[in-house]
Structure 1
């Protein structure tokens, strides 16, 4: 498996990956309003992660197959981390996360974790900075990692 920067030609494959993972792991945890909001705003927003001025967006690939996608905005905010269903539990998410954390000089990295991913982030030393919240039916837990020097 290799970790590589995404290119504009990866957008379609990334959209498919995120949509497939979201349908199983994320959307069932949202209200109908949240599902609608996610499909109408969050998924189309993926294109923003390909803006190299604000984002470091990476992919995990093996034998030409996309296994995962992650993006860090402004060096301190993790906006996306998705791993294909067939690759979950194999360390792909860990490798994507560590690549991004090693690539930033930020002392603190924050995110809004999907409810289903809180345990993953806790295992990687992120801590909840507030209670589970809901924005337009989209449930999340705010989390932060303070990196040691």
Structure 2
């Protein structure tokens, strides 16, 4: 597996990856409103991650195929971590998060974990900072990790 910076030519591949993973792992946890809101926000938001002035975005590849995608903004807020279903459980997510955390600046890094990803983030050192939240039907868990505890 290789991790590299996101390139503009990757947008179609990461859009498909995010859509596929979302349909299998994330959207089943949402009500109708949440599904609609997520679809209308997340896929279009991927284009914003192409802006290096706002985001550091990376992809994980294997045999020249994108198997993971991650982005961090403001050097301390992870906005996206998606790993293809076939690559889940093989360390790709952890490698992406570790690389994103290496860009972090400050005392901690934070994120809003999807319901299905809570145990993954807890296993790599994140803790819930608030109870489950909802925004227009999108369920999430606010989490953070002190940078001195990076695993």
1:44 is aligned to 2:69: no
1:2-29, Cα deviation, whole Å (9 max, x unpaired): 0000011101100000000000000000
What is the DSSP-based 3-state SS (H/G/I as helix, E as strand, rest coil) of the residue aligned with 1:105?
coil
> Who is 1:58 aligned against?
58
Give unmatched runs, 5+ long, in structure 1.
none
Gaps of 5+ in 2: none
Q: Which whole-Å deviations, capped at 9, do the CAs of 1:13-60 have from their partners, x for residues lacking one?
A: 000000000000000000000000011122211111111011010000
Question: What secondary structure is seen at the aligned counterpart in 1 of 2:27?
Answer: helix
Q: What corresponds to 1:102 in structure 2?
A: 102
Residue matched to 1:27: 27
Output the TM-score relative to the length of structure 2: 0.96
Q: Report the alpha carbon displacement of residue 105 of structure 1 after superposing the two structures with TM.
A: 2.6
> 1:66-122 deviations in whole A, cap 9, x for unaligned?
110000011000000000000000000010011111222332111000000000110
The Cα RMSD (Å) is 1.0
Question: What is the aligned partner in structure 2 of residue 135 from structure 1?
Answer: 135
- Could you state the TM-score of these two structures normalised by the residue count of structure 1? 0.97
SS in structure 2 of the partner of residue 53 of structure 1: coil
Runs of 4+ in 1 over 4 A off after TM superposition: none
Q: Distance in 1 between matches of 2:139 and 2:105?
A: 29
Q: How many residues align?
A: 149
